[in-house]
């Protein structure tokens, strides 16, 4: 049975030549047992007729805010609440730009802005439009809102040019969405705490001691845990990243603040993942006013050791909790990583070695080896941080199931 059986789907169609494929996609949704409401932009109707779409969906197609003849109002808010999924296929560069920037000048975009359900977007356009930094930036914005981008395929385009921009085939769009809805939620009912990013330790109101952590790894882990059904609290140091959708994010600045917030959340959590690159030291006497530049150099700043969040909370853990730490090592990686299992009372430690290119701070990729307290370990090849996060979360699930 399809995971789409009984689901309410809004199929958004915009004005691109690939709109002819939307009829096939609509047919597949209906065959899978979904109830489909088509919302089409005025330009979309130039490419495929509402008659075809209403015949296939068994419902009148919505395009305007109200029917000119009857005055019947089409409520984008009601539609947005009705839907279990919204699929925009094809999504033109123009509609992508409007969705990314909230330009609600037609029924489809207002419905998009009102939708509370997962949104899937299948771009379709010429290769140069697709590659343009404006389109790429808008797609990244949509991703940052938690929308799912179904990447266009490479191939011959309507312009006869060959490249990336062809809307993904209807069968593959269906498979992508079915896969999303059939994904298991093995962490349903569990709470996870994730620390992420750097900490800033104030020297004075304008200067701090910090590090190059971007928070990407921790944010990806928070998202992966949430996708598997966990309730996630992300305690984040200063980062430039948008807050992950569906995750409760608490922003902090210093190690002491991170410890305070984490301590409050810790008892009620089943899983904790310490990804934060916590500054090891903080100035002993931060100044309340800006330290003036002096003729003679300041020779030293007295530092004090910061609390070790992982080790502190490792002391008060329960045996039912699963605690995961990170080890970023330049040498003797495996020995140092496994030592942390004991010294911080962890169940799992993830080693990323600075000896590997593409691993560590600031990159979009990482290469890890996971060790656990039962003596097992697993090495993974270089992958994107999102994929690495999936591997870590899968390992956590496997580890919990084996206990």
Q: Where are the alpha helices (DSSP H) in 183-329?
A: 216-227, 255-266, 309-314
Q: Does 396 bind ligand C5P (CB under 6 A)?
A: no
CB of 207 vs ligand C5P, minimal distance in Å:
20
Distance, in Å, from the CA atom of 43 to the CA atom of 51, rounded to the nearest integer, reads 15
Judged by CB under 6 A, the stretch of 131-139, 149-157, 306-314, 385-393 that binds ligand C5P is 306-314
Calculate the alpha carbon distances from 106 to 29, 46, 52, 66, 235 in Å. 24, 15, 21, 11, 38
CB of 308 vs ligand C5P, minimal distance in Å:
4
Please report the sign of the dihedral spanned by the C-alpha atoms of residue 15, residue 17, residue 18, residue 22: positive
CB of 192 vs ligand C5P, minimal distance in Å:
14
According to CB under 6 A, which one of 276, 348, 359, 396 is a site residue for ligand C5P?
A: 276
Residue in this structure with the two tokens 């062809």, named with its chain if needed: 166
Instruction: Pick between residue 166 and residue 340 the one whose CB is nearest to ligand C5P.
Output: 340
Residue 67, helix vs strand vs coil: coil
Q: Does 278 bind ligand C5P (CB under 6 A)?
A: yes
Binding to ligand C5P in span 253-272, by CB under 6 A: 255
Instruction: Pick between residue 29 and residue 371 the one whose CB is nearest to ligand C5P.
Output: 371
DSSP per-residue letters across 271-332: EEEE--B--SEEESS--SSPPPP-SSPP----EEEPP-HHHHHHTT--TT-EEEEEEEESSS
Q: Does 308 bind ligand C5P (CB under 6 A)?
A: yes
Q: How many residues make contact with ligand C5P (CB under 6 A)? A: 15
Cβ-based burial of 296 (10 A; exposed 0-12, middle 13-18, buried ≥19): exposed
**Catalytic position from the list 106, 147, 211, 345:** 211
Instruction: Pick between residue 18 and residue 196 the one whose CB is nearest to ligand C5P.
Output: 196
How many helices (H) and strands (E) the chain has is answered by 13, 21
Distance, in Å, from the CA atom of 235 to the CA atom of 195, rounded to the nearest integer, reads 5
Instruction: Pick between residue 123 and residue 215 the one whose CB is nearest to ligand C5P.
Output: 215
Backbone angles phi, psi at 379, to 5 degrees: -105, 145
CB of 393 vs ligand C5P, minimal distance in Å:
16
CB burial of 372-400 (b: ≥16 within 10 Å; e: otherwise) equals beeeeeeebeebebbbbbbbbbebbbebb
According to CB under 6 A, which one of 9, 19, 25, 327 is a site residue for ligand C5P?
A: 327
Catalytic site includes residue 172: no
Distance, in Å, from the CA atom of 192 to the CA atom of 322, rounded to the nearest integer, reads 9
- Are 125 and 93 a contacting pair, CB within 8 Å? yes
Distance, in Å, from the CA atom of 170 to the CA atom of 153, rounded to the nearest integer, reads 12
Residue in this structure with the two tokens 């899968």, named with its chain if needed: 394
Binding to ligand C5P in span 151-210, by CB under 6 A: 195
Instruction: Pick between residue 39 and residue 392 the one whose CB is nearest to ligand C5P.
Output: 392
CB of 209 vs ligand C5P, minimal distance in Å:
13
Q: Does 325 bind ligand C5P (CB under 6 A)?
A: yes
According to CB under 6 A, which one of 22, 63, 138, 306 is a site residue for ligand C5P?
A: 306
Q: Does 310 bind ligand C5P (CB under 6 A)?
A: yes
User: Which tokens belong to 207?
Assistant: 């200067």
Distance, in Å, from the CA atom of 170 to the CA atom of 122, rounded to the nearest integer, reads 10
CB of 307 vs ligand C5P, minimal distance in Å:
6
Q: Does 326 bind ligand C5P (CB under 6 A)?
A: yes
DSSP run (H or E) holding 397? helix 385-402
Instruction: Pick between residue 266 and residue 326 the one whose CB is nearest to ligand C5P.
Output: 326
Judged by CB under 6 A, the stretch of 29-37, 221-229, 319-327, 391-399 that binds ligand C5P is 319-327
CB of 271 vs ligand C5P, minimal distance in Å:
13
- Are 216 and 222 a contacting pair, CB within 8 Å? no
CB of 326 vs ligand C5P, minimal distance in Å:
4
Judged by CB under 6 A, the stretch of 56-64, 97-105, 149-157, 303-311 that binds ligand C5P is 303-311
Residue in this structure with the two tokens 């990159």, named with its chain if needed: 363
User: Which tokens belong to 144?
Assistant: 């940052």
Binding to ligand C5P in span 31-50, by CB under 6 A: none
Residues near ligand C5P, by CB under 6 A: 195, 255, 274-276, 278, 306, 308-310, 325-327, 340, 344
Residues annotated as catalytic are 211
């Amino acid at each position: 049975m399809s995971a789409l059986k009984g689901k309410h789907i809004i199929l958004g169609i915009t004005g691109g030549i690939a709109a002819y494929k939307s009829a096939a996609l609509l047919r597949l949704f209906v065959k899978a047992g979904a109830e489909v409401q088509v919302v089409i932009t005025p330009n979309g109707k130039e490419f495929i007729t509402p008659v075809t779409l209403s015949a296939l969906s068994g419902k009148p197609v919505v395009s305007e805010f109200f029917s000119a003849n009857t005055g019947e109002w089409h409520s984008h808010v009601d539609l947005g609440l009705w839907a279990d999924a919204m699929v925009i296929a094809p999504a033109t560069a123009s509609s992508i730009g409007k969705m990314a920037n909230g330009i609600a000048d037609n029924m489809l975009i207002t419905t998009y802005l009102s939708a509370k359900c997962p949104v899937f977007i299948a771009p379709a356009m010429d290769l140069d439009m697709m590659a343009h930094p404006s389109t790429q930036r808008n797609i990244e914005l949509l991703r940052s809102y938690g929308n799912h981008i179904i990447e266009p395929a490479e191939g011959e385009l309507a312009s006869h040019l060959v490249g990336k921009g062809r809307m993904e085939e209807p069968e593959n769009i269906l498979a992508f969405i079915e896969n999303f809805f059939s994904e298991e939620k093995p962490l349903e009912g569990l709470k996870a705490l994730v620390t992420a990013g750097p900490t800033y330790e104030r020297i004075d109101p304008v200067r701090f001691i910090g590090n190059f952590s971007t928070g990407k790894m921790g944010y990806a882990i928070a998202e992966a845990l949430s996708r598997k059904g966990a309730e996630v609290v992300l305690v984040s140091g200063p980062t430039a990243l948008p807050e992950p959708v569906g995750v409760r994010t608490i922003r902090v600045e210093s190690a002491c603040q991170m410890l305070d917030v984490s301590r409050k959340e810790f008892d009620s959590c089943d899983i904790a993942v310490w990804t934060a690159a916590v500054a090891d030291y903080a100035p002993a006497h931060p100044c309340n006013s800006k330290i003036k530049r002096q003729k003679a150099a300041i020779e030293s700043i007295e530092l004090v050791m910061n609390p070790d969040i992982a080790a502190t909370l490792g002391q008060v853990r329960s045996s039912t909790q699963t605690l995961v730490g990170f080890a970023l090592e330049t040498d003797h990686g495996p020995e140092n990583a496994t030592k942390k299992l004991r010294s911080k009372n962890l169940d799992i430690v993830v080693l990323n070695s600075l000896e590997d290119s593409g691993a560590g701070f600031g990159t979009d990729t990482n290469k890890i080896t996971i060790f656990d307290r039962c003596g097992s370990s697993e090495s993974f090849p270089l992958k994107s941080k999102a994929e690495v996060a999936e591997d870590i979360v899968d390992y956590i699930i496997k580890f919990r199931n084996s206990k």
